[in-house]
Chain A
Amino acid sequence: MNIDNLNSILIDVFKEIGNIGSGNAATALASIIDKKIDMAVPQVNILEFKHVTDILGGGEIPVVGIYFELDGDIEGNILFILNIDSAVNLVNILFNRQKENKENKELEDMDMSALSEIGNILAASYVNSLSSLTGLTLKISVPSISIDMAGAILSVPAIEFGQLGDKVLFIETQFEEDDKLVIGDLFLIPKMDSFKKILEKLGVSYGNN
């Protein structure tokens, strides 16, 4: 199977995988912060490397990235990305802080730890629903968090793909809190051989792809 010639049925299957996984993750997020969370239709992004850094609005934009290794029957990565404002708003909601703190854009250790944990819960609910859908055993690593340029953070999954081909495949879902205080992106980045396993388990024929 090659990323360059995926047909539209397969793309739809990937979207649906993203939908089921991130649907559960959105529900989890909504119940943690007790706010309504909207979720966009998942996007399947197939990009050349030189465009990877642009997908979050520019390679230099500071973001919080929470990264997981996905292990077990399928391998890959899960990456949860928040822009800095969203990350600050999210921890403020979580810790029930007043809005006066809003000018304070510094994230402290406690905040980082809370963000890692939120990422952990989202990633776990994502893979749990994938796992019950496919019957595959999936495990995630402990979270690793980094605040840095979007391009630098996205280079990590891009390099994984770089070993196999010249394009990257991200299944991306955007979350939005009701008042638009928190906007985040959740990426599922499976290795290409793992796709075959998912498709076989779902009974989808991938033909000559």
Chain B
Amino acid sequence: MEIIKVGMADLAVAKSPHKLITLGLGSCIGIVLYDSVYKIGGLAHIMLPSSKEIRNNSNKAKFADTAIDILIDKMLSLGAKKNNIRAKIAGGSQMFSFNSKSDVLKIGERNANASRKKLSECRIPIICEDCGGNYGRTIELNTKDGSLLVRTIGYGTKII
């Protein structure tokens, strides 16, 4: 079994029994897709809600909208079937709080909303999520059964 590490603005897909992990999600979102029939999983670590708002958008894994498209394509080419794919999302917290006008600090919430919207456009149901709060998360997808381990500092560990 291999553990494949996904960095910030990065994505990867894997077949059972490998694991996909991303460390220290803050305001970013970990988008996890899983086909439970063929046991194929995908994980994207996105930073921003939409590629349409940004001029320099060549890194597709950075944005919720473009990353989800690529993730689905990559999973299909590994043999997954679109109808089997279910999603889980985690992250989108607000690490620091300021009374400022800057909406950058609310980016976590915007990222989560953009991910939900894009997944619903792709007709992929979100079966569970762990978003918001003010703490970081490490997530690990086990492609054997599609379980997602969410690890935090001070907020416990759970499997969703």
Interface size class of B (residues with CB under 8 A): 35 or more
List B residues 116-159 near A (Cβ within 8 Å). Answer: 134-138, 151, 153-154
Contact B98 A141 (CB under 8 A): yes
Chain B interface main SS type? loop
Q: How many residues on A have C-beta within 8 angstroms of the other chain's C-beta atoms?
A: 36
Give the residue of A58, A146, A156, A163 whose beta carbon is less than 8 angstroms from that of B23: A58
Known: A144-B98, A156-B27, A159-B107. A149 touches B153 (CB 8 A): yes
A150 to B137, CA, bound (A): 11
Contact of A166 among B62, B98, B151 (CB under 8 A): B62
The answer to whether A49 and B56 have CB atoms under 8 Å apart is no
The SS class assigned to the A binding surface is mixed
Are A149 and B104 also in contact (CB < 8 A) when A58-B23, A141-B98, A159-B48 are? no
A135 in the interface (beta carbon within 8 A): no
Inter-chain contacts of A13 with B (CB < 8 A): none
A21-29, A59-67, A170-178, A197-205 - interface stretch: A59-67
A152 and B93 in contact, given A52-B8, A141-B98 (Cβ under 8 angstroms): yes
**Judging by beta carbons under 8 Å apart, are A150 and B56 in contact?**
no
Structural contact, B153 and A147, CB atoms closer than 8 A: yes
> What is the interface of chain A, defined by CB distance below 8 A to chain B?
48-53, 58-60, 62, 65, 67, 69, 141-142, 144-156, 158-160, 162-166
7 contacting pairs across A/B (C-beta < 8 A): A53-B8, A65-B95, A149-B138, A151-B23, A151-B138, A152-B136, A155-B95
